[in-house]
A and B are shown apart, each in its own frame.
Chain A
């Protein structure tokens, strides 16, 4: 029984990881076909020579950084506000926003933006994408920061106030430093989900705000290409590292 489970575990982890590993291996193949020729970095070079890919990457970075900064600030305040006193309506809607099918979030935000453009003379662009990403990242931040808050003694804040700090000073000088690992972990998580999102982004992006996932998606719809393999390998390695750091920080 024990041995069979171990054999199964090997197969299971191979199933989870081998697709990504082969993807990465073939990004170093000089041939564009799935037959190994010899080692080459040409596809990685091709990424940086494709102006569309470079621009989309910049857009993705700008969007992810802005959305992360905003949602981390809002979500941290929210988690702190919900500490020791719950608001069922607010937590309920945060959880609901998390399970809402992405495509529904996407079209409803599109409907909202189009509707508001009747009065505001704006159009879809980087900032609508940022707003959309803030909308779906807050719930992640609240969950991660709340988990950190549960490990902190409720007496900590009271002790600070007994020593003469007002509520705001207690938050700024005592609670915020204690929460910092949770906040960093939450921000890294928000960065990852924002950078990766395709479905919602594709609904609310304008012509000048194509993101990296949108370009990858368009290329993938035309069929596989070694250039996508190379970008995929870079994304996987980079965000794999980000998530590992995020977990390390959270556990510290």
Chain B
């Protein structure tokens, strides 16, 4: 056997033991019964999966979907002009790209906390608005759906900018020139020519934003203050406070299936386009 094949062995082991095996255990737990003192017990049952269609939990699922979709749409609206600006910049392209990526890589927790600091009742936004006399009572901005949405958009915006920028970079400039020559006004050119042509980037960015939004835990917990329960919070809650591991495991499995299906569909589409 060639030496190079042995190089893969540690990763095979790590992925088998620390990625595949845990998921298999979660799958098994999702089919077991909740133990009296937490944990799991026999017999095998599909009860946890049946509970997923309980309206109580369907609402949470639906809310996560809607939140994810709205956050993705907002990211698209904010990111597109920014990507267009960077792709058309004559100088400093790399600087702009770094300005997009830098806050993203530093610390997700710190960036989420920054909004907690700004939005709270005694936060900067409320303090400024009050001192200007625009409002007299602090606005309740923190611990609302809006705060969670803002946190998600802020958190994953770079995931949308980069793929769109990448497609815009590859765009043939003669196409926009042709549109202009044929009398299209700049805005018309953007919507009738540039946006349709950047579809691959838009789709890639949307998948990259929607997936982490769907499974988000930190943002809804910190900025929603436990009021905005999304699927991620449901999983965490079942494994900690509620001590219902089988149900938490079933929800985890559902999330895994959704994410895998989405990624699979996306990759299939990509390979079809290449073929």
Binding site for B on A (CB under 8 A): 1-2, 5-6, 8-9, 12-13, 15-17, 19-20, 22-23, 26, 33-35, 73-75, 77-78, 80-83, 85, 87, 90, 93-97, 99-112, 114-115, 131-132, 134-135, 138, 142, 167-168, 171, 189, 192, 196, 198-199, 203, 213, 216-217, 220-221, 223-224, 228-229, 232, 235-236, 239-240, 243-244, 247
Given A80-B4, A94-B15, A244-B102, A107 contacting B109 (CB threshold 8 A): no
Q: List the B side residues contacting A134 at CB < 8 Å.
A: 14, 18
**Residue of B7, B21, B25, B216 touching A78 (CB-CB under 8 A):** B7
Given A74-B14, A224-B117, A224-B120, A104 contacting B252 (CB threshold 8 A): yes
Given A220-B113, A228-B113, A75 contacting B217 (CB threshold 8 A): no
Docked pose: A73 CA to B39 CA in angstroms: 35
A93 pairs with B263, CB closer than 8 A: no
B116 interface contact, C-beta 8 A: yes
A232 pairs with B113, CB closer than 8 A: yes
**Residue of A106, A192, A221 touching B106 (CB-CB under 8 A):** A192
B113 pairs with A93, CB closer than 8 A: no
A16 pairs with B100, CB closer than 8 A: yes
Given A96-B260, A96-B263, A101-B232, A171 contacting B3 (CB threshold 8 A): yes
**Residue of A17, A111, A216 touching B22 (CB-CB under 8 A):** A111
Given A6-B85, A107-B248, A199 contacting B217 (CB threshold 8 A): yes
A240 pairs with B211, CB closer than 8 A: no
Docked pose: A35 CA to B211 CA in angstroms: 39
Q: List the A side residues contacting B11 at CB < 8 Å.
A: 74-75, 77-78, 81, 90, 94, 138, 142
B81 interface contact, C-beta 8 A: yes
**Residue of A2, A135, A171, A213 touching B14 (CB-CB under 8 A):** A135
Q: List the A side residues contacting B102 at CB < 8 Å.
A: 240, 243-244
Q: List the B side residues contacting A26 at CB < 8 Å.
A: 117, 124
Given A81-B4, A90-B15, A224-B120, A101 contacting B259 (CB threshold 8 A): yes
Docked pose: A105 CA to B154 CA in angstroms: 23
B29 pairs with A111, CB closer than 8 A: yes
**Residue of A8, A20, A107 touching B110 (CB-CB under 8 A):** A20
Enumerate B243-266 residues with CB–CB distance to A below 8 Å.
245, 248-249, 252, 255-256, 259-260, 263
B98 interface contact, C-beta 8 A: yes
A12 CB to closest chain B CB (Å) equals: 5
Q: Considering only CB atoms, which chain A residue lies closest to B230 in the complex?
A: A103
Docked pose: A95 CA to B249 CA in angstroms: 22
A19 pairs with B114, CB closer than 8 A: yes
**Residue of B22, B105, B122, B255 touching A109 (CB-CB under 8 A):** B22
